Amino acid sequence: MEKLSYKSVFETLSKIDVTGKTEQIKTKSGNYTYLKWHYAWHIFNHYYPEVQVKWLEPFTYDNGTMILRCRVEIGELYKEGWLPVYDNSYNAIENPRADDIQDNMQRCMVKTMALFGLGLQLYHNGQTKPEELNLVGEINDPEVKKIAKAKDKKKAVELALKNGGINENTSEIQLGEALEKV
């Protein structure tokens, strides 16, 4: 069996479409979309049944607020995450009750799972479909790569449009990068 790596786990989990598995929380500052904790747990167990969640000592502050700390492990791989105990308006709760803590433990676990890639796109911009990020000029579409390398970009784009090498499904972020490359 292939040994797990952070890269392979991220490549698996960050490509998962979480549409229909989220909930939206409305606050004064905007609407936020979250992956429901039980779906996150289900997906993680599907791909990595050895997953374990461990709770670290929380940080507590003089004003009675606290930060939860969580560790998600897949064999030897792990990520540690944290989250204040918030109310639904994103204000830290002073002297939180058990149910406040439980709600935020679930959020904290999902956030820590996102560090492995699952539902990370929700934290970028709330979209549920996996997002192809433009990582500083990265172009992985072979047709767009040709345009990036072409001396005459106008001709290269026109040719790619004509032969269907690029179309409405092409990433405009990558094509934009290609157009800019001299």
Partner 1 sequence: MKTQAKFSSEKHLKRFNLRSSSALNYCFGTYTPKNEMLEWDRKGEQKPIGDFMQKYVDFGVEHEKSGIAKWILINKQMPTEILEDQHNYVLQNAFNLKGDTVVDLSCTPDGRFEDTLLEIKCGSLGKKPHDWSKAKVYLAQVSIQQYILNSLGIKIDKTHLVSWSFNATRIWEIERNYEFEHYLLGLLEEYAMALINNSKLEDKPKKFEGEHKIKLIYGDE
Q: Which positions lie near partner 1, rule CB under 8 A?
A: 124-127, 131, 154, 157-158, 161, 166-168, 170, 172-180, 182
Residue number with CB closer to partner 1 (76 or 152): 152
Shortest distance in whole angstroms from residue 10 CB to partner 1:
20
Shortest distance in whole angstroms from residue 1 CB to partner 1:
37
Residue number with CB closer to partner 1 (26 or 154): 154
* Amino acid occupying residue 91: N
- Burial readout 6-17 (b: 16 or more C-beta within 10 A, e: otherwise): eeebeebbbebe
Shortest distance in whole angstroms from residue 171 CB to partner 1:
8
* Cβ atoms < 10 Å from Cβ of 115: 17
Shortest distance in whole angstroms from residue 15 CB to partner 1:
17
β-strands 52-60, 30-35: how paired?
A: unpaired
Contact 10, 117 (CB under 8 A): yes
Q: What is the greatest pairwise CA distance in the chain?
A: 66
Residue number with CB closer to partner 1 (17 or 158): 158
